[in-house]
Amino acid sequence: MTLKEEFATRNFSIYGQWFGILAMILCFALGIANIFSFNVFLIIFSVLALVSCFIILFIEVPLLLRICPTSSTFDAAIRRVSTNYMRAGAYAVMAIVQWLSIIARPSSLIAAAVILTITGVCYLLAGVKGQAFVGSKTLGGAGVAQMIV
């Protein structure tokens, strides 16, 4: 199945997975960009954005749990985030953390908060509509992901 065919399925979990990849890229780029500010609280939120980036990486690309040497507790925690509702909750927590960065100072971290929110809403819609989680084949789903779990 090509990427175009995956998007044509209208399964919100695929949309959520791709928005998650976009959120990961934004969290990494904006975390690095804002870490050099002179506001201590903004630096803390930048570090939290970088941590979110790596959590998203392991959630959305399950093949990495096999490749990267991580602890068994980390693996178990990431594997718990396998349903659409759990993913929506995880993204909601990460989005709330980035929305709270406005308290320190409005910055470009708002863009990460917006994309994290959209990702959480996509997974929530997939759960509400009763759509099963379908991993994108491009990101290692449908075969590779099942082998890992």
Asked if pLDDT for residue 77 goes beyond 90, the answer is no
10 belongs to a structural domain: no
135 belongs to a structural domain: yes
Sign of CA dihedral 108, 109, 115, 121: negative
Residue 58 in tokens: 């392991």
User: Which pLDDT belongs to residue 11?
Assistant: 81
Backbone conformation region of residue 140, classed left if phi is above 0, alpha if psi is from -120 to 50, else beta: left
Asked if pLDDT for residue 145 goes beyond 70, the answer is no
User: Which pLDDT belongs to residue 22?
Assistant: 94
31 belongs to a structural domain: yes
DSSP H helix total and E strand total for the chain = 9, 0
Backbone conformation region of residue 123, classed left if phi is above 0, alpha if psi is from -120 to 50, else beta: alpha
9 belongs to a structural domain: no
95 belongs to a structural domain: yes
Give the residue-averaged pLDDT of 59-81: 81
User: Which pLDDT belongs to residue 73?
Assistant: 87
Domain enclosing residue 137, as ranges: 20-148
pLDDT digits (tens, 9 = 90+) for 86-131: 999 999 999 999 999 998 889 999 999 999 999 999 999 999 988 8
Where residue 2 falls among pLDDT bands split at 50, 70, 90?
low
Q: How many CB atoms are located within 10 Å of the residue 62 CB?
A: 21
User: Which pLDDT belongs to residue 95?
Assistant: 95
Whether 108 contacts 28, CB under 8 Å: no
5 belongs to a structural domain: no
Tell me the C-alpha to C-alpha distance, in Å, between residue 128 and each of 88, 120, 124, 125, 133.
11, 12, 6, 5, 12
Model confidence, pTM = 0.84
Q: How many domains does the chain have?
A: 1
Asked if pLDDT for residue 44 goes beyond 70, the answer is yes
133 belongs to a structural domain: yes
Residue with the larger pLDDT of the pair 53 and 146: 53
